[in-house]
Structure 1
Amino acid sequence: MTRFGYTLMTEQSGARDLVRYAVAAEEAGFDFEVSSDHYSPWLTSQGHSPYAWTMLGAVAHATSRVELMTYVTCPTMRYHPAVVAQKAATLQDLAEGRFILGLGSGENLNEHVVGEGWPSVSARQDMLVEAMKIIRELHTGELTTWEGDYFRVDSARIWDLPDQVIPIAVAVSGDESIERFAPLAEHLVAVQPDKDVIDKWDAEHDGGSRKIGQIPISWDPDEKTAVARAHDQFRWFGGGWSVNADLPTPAGFEGASQFVRPEDVAEAIPCGPDLDRIVAAVKEYVDAGFTDVALVQVGGDTQSAFLDGPATELLEELRAL
């Protein structure tokens, strides 16, 4: 049975609204909720970027059933892995076992803010491997000292470990990343319905892990309004992660996406009131082998209308898949 999730999109809503949406999503019947972890929005028109971990702590107390997940946190530059290990443990305790730590190699947009530059993709993946090993070591509760190629940890211990294990999901994109990260994580994160990626991950895990995808939608009673909103706030998505990982500022994304047309966005993102179009788009992920699919409703001011309106009916149609 595929699980369906709701995305707490920190780039398009403030923290208090996100907590309110999290509660409404649980009430609407979503199985899990994922949160982006950004320092800046992708585009200025999105207009928000609260601190994800503070918000998730509030969500953990405001909800009781849905699983929670970072989608995804970069534990290498803006955050030291020892700090990620501590806050993941605290959040798992607050969530009483409902939290999955989603990790990835990050984007320049968020990580450059600490003034350490932006490494090559190979270096970023090396850093992520080392960071994941440190986090695992600290989650044993043992006193940890680490001297690595990228990180040092000096006599650190996580004093408040939750009763439950903190599972790790990691963002992958191809053979090399699967080979490197699969031994270090329980679950996969990917944003394209690529069956080959799923099959190769399953071969490393004997098919027993979760494969967690994400898809943007722009539901609205009026299709033209939905397309215009998606173009205004989500046209950055069309660049692909090879571009998205390296641009440093919202202004850069404005420039890179200036020639993306509304019809281009409408072709890539289901827009309008037709739930069957959304179901068809999600079905590609289900058919590819994803066990979990999170929806991103585009537009911070549309979340209540979506959650109070078609969300429950949409979930029923999705579960019929």
Structure 2
Amino acid sequence: MRFGYKASAEQFAPNRLLGFAIEAEAAGFDSVFISDHFQPWKHTDGHAPFAPSWMAAALARTERVVFGTSVLTPTFRLHPSVVAHAFGTLGAMFPERVILGVGTGESLNEVPSTGMVWPELKERSARLREAVTLIRTLWSEERVTFKGDYYQTQNATIYDKPDKMVPIYLAAGGPLNARYAGRAGDGFICTSGKGAELYVDQLLPNVAAGRGESGRTDLPFERMIEVKVSFDPDPQAALDNTRAWAALALSAEEKHSVEDAAEMERLAAQLPIERIAKRWIVSSDPEEHVAAIKTYIDYGFDHLVFHAPGEDQSRFLSLYATEILPRLRALAPGGSS
């Protein structure tokens, strides 16, 4: 069982975020994950650092914690060979401390940077499958001439790469991609707050089915979930902190093809706090908070990455180190109270 910290790249400037990652390691977190957005969820005071660059700085300033992307899109603005190059270098410099988390992407990030017409999920999923195949091929072979439906390389070589391939975790929000994640991934990524039926009846069973088809059942595999938490001894503060991430409460229909961060911000600003908070575990009581988190452990997730919405991330990290992580570790196999 591992517990991670979500570095809110869209909310904080890169240097400030680096400080939080260092604090997370000191607080006892096992991992730090960062999203790779070209644009944030809001325009005003928003941030969007390039994840591999930030990860390199953070890895150099820490000693133990594992860093990953949750998630990066290796299919449009970033060609798979560029992703293989970037993460090959990170894996060579920081062995066994890097995870490449990938997904099918969002128009908010891909359209403004490319001017492309945003394709349907079927094509995006096909591109992701091909991209993952190409990335692994570039890491495992010397001269790669690849002729795919979407990507091509000609005698390509990644000269600096790790002795052991960087694990690739695949994100999925539906059953088909969850099955692919189980079949082809070293781990699976999803997000919390969407109802038990999605996780228990759709995502995790399909991950398991994919694992059964993979021929890779003897290899390590993690079921990772990004858990949205707002914990503070002051219940009003715990509730109010969620406002910063109001855009997450927009439905898929409301934000579909919204490619302007300012428009996303406008839509989110209209939402009531009650609707915003529904995506989060909002609590001021440690026992109540841990009980809510335990639900996801009981579902079968074994790598929980906590995303806190508040401005004072140092306070969150300190509170979690003293009040929450010890309780969670006591729940894990071999844990002690």
TM-score by length of 1: 0.92
Separation of aligned partners in 2, 1:204 and 1:272: 36
Pair 1:122–1:154, CA change in 2 (3 A): same
Q: Aligned to 1:311, which of 287, 297, 321?
A: 321
The runs of 4+ residues in structure 1 deviating greater than 4 Å are: 240-245
Deviations 1:248-282 (A, max 9, x none): 12233234334421122233323353333432332
Deviations 1:72-106 (A, max 9, x none): 11001110000000111111122221111101001
Q: Aligned to 1:228, which of 232, 240, 243?
A: 240
Pair 1:210–1:166, CA change in 2 (3 A): same
Q: Which residue of 2 aligns with 1:320?
A: 330
Q: What does 1:236-251 correspond to in 2, within 5 Å?
A: 236-241=247-252, 244=255, 246-251=257-262
Deviations 1:119-151 (A, max 9, x none): 111111111111111101101142111222211
Deviations 1:169-214 (A, max 9, x none): 1011222213344332121111146123112212322475210100
Contact kept? 2:44, 2:262, Cα under 8 Å: no
Aligned-pair identity (%): 33
2:68 maps to 1:69: yes
Q: Which residue of 1 aligns with 2:221?
A: 209
Pair 1:85–1:281, CA change in 2 (3 A): same
Give structure 2 stretches of 5+ with no counterpart: 332-337
Contact kept? 1:188, 1:210, Cα under 8 Å: yes
Larger CA deviation: 181-190 vs 9-18: 181-190
Q: Which residue of 1 aligns with 2:172?
A: 172
Q: Which residue of 1 aligns with 2:200?
A: 195
Contact kept? 1:133, 1:184, Cα under 8 Å: no
2:281 maps to 1:253: no
Give structure 1 stretches of 5+ with no counterpart: none
2:46 maps to 1:40: no
Separation of aligned partners in 1, 2:322 and 2:256: 34
TM-score by length of 2: 0.88
Deviation at 1:46, TM superposition (A): 5.2
Pair 1:188–1:244, CA change in 2 (3 A): farther
Contact kept? 1:69, 1:99, Cα under 8 Å: yes
Deviation at 1:242, TM superposition (A): 6.0
Which one has more relative contact order, counting CA pairs under 8 Å at least 6 apart?
1
Deviation at 1:245, TM superposition (A): 5.9
Separation of aligned partners in 2, 1:211 and 1:47: 30
User: How many corresponding residue pairs?
Assistant: 318
In structure 1, give the amino acid aligned to 2:287.
D
Q: Aligned to 1:267, which of 278, 288, 291?
A: 278
Q: What does 1:1-321 correspond to in 2, within 5 Å?
A: 2-45=1-44, 47-112=46-111, 113-192=113-192, 194-196=199-201, 197-206=203-212, 209-231=221-243, 233-241=244-252, 244=255, 246-271=257-282, 273-299=284-310, 301-321=311-331
